[in-house]
């Protein structure tokens, strides 16, 4: 059974600081997705990582994928309050049906 775990589950940080969220998964997959969810809202797509070594950046967020280590990271640079949200990674299951298995989520709170 594919499992996807995120670390930390909850993160409180000061504005201007840097931090990294980790996403570990238990079986082989070469596609990984990062989403943001605001309270009461659905998912907003952040990054699509399609191969080993993929790195993508958008604003203060940068995501990377290491398929050999089964690890993805979401790095936050100089956090601002607007980044406060819950972040999920998701992995394609190996069944070929494009089912996503979501990570446990990381609730990020950026303090002004």
Partner 1 sequence: GAVVSQHPSWVICKSGTSVKIECRSLDFQATTMFWYRQFPKQSLMLMATSNEGSKATYEQGVEKDKFLINHASLTLSTLTVTSAHPEDSSFYICSARSPRGSYSNQPQHFGDGTRLSIL
76 strand-pairing partners: 19, 61
- Sign of torsion over alpha carbons 95, 25, 89, 9: positive
Q: Which residues of 18-50 are buried (b: 16+ CB within 10 A; e: fewer)?
A: ebebebebeeebebbbbbbeeeeeeeeebbebe
Q: Does 96 bind partner 1 (CB under 8 A)?
A: no
DSSP state of 83: G
Taking CB under 8 A as the criterion, the residue among 56, 75, 107, 109 binding partner 1 is 107
Taking CB under 8 A as the criterion, the residue among 19, 22, 24, 105 binding partner 1 is 105
Q: Work out how close the CB of 17 gets to partner 1 at its nearest, in angstroms, rounded to a whole number.
A: 24
Touching partner 1, residues 32-91 (CB under 8 A): 33, 40-43, 45, 48, 50, 88
Residues at the interface with partner 1 (CB under 8 A): 33, 40-43, 45, 48, 50, 88, 92, 97-105, 107
């Amino acid at each position: 059974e594919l499992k996807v775990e995120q670390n930390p589950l909850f993160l409180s940080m000061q504005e201007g600081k840097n931090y990294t969220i980790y996403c570990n998964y238990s079986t082989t997959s070469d596609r990984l997705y990062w989403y943001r969810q605001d309270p009461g809202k659905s998912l907003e797509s952040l990054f699509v990582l399609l191969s080993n070594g993929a790195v993508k950046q958008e604003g203060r967020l940068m995501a990377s994928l290491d398929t050999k280590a089964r690890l993805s990271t979401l790095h936050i640079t100089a956090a601002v309050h607007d980044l406060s949200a819950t972040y999920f990674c998701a992995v394609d299951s190996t069944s070929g049906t494009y089912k996503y298995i979501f990570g446990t989520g990381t609730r990020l709170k950026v303090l002004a």
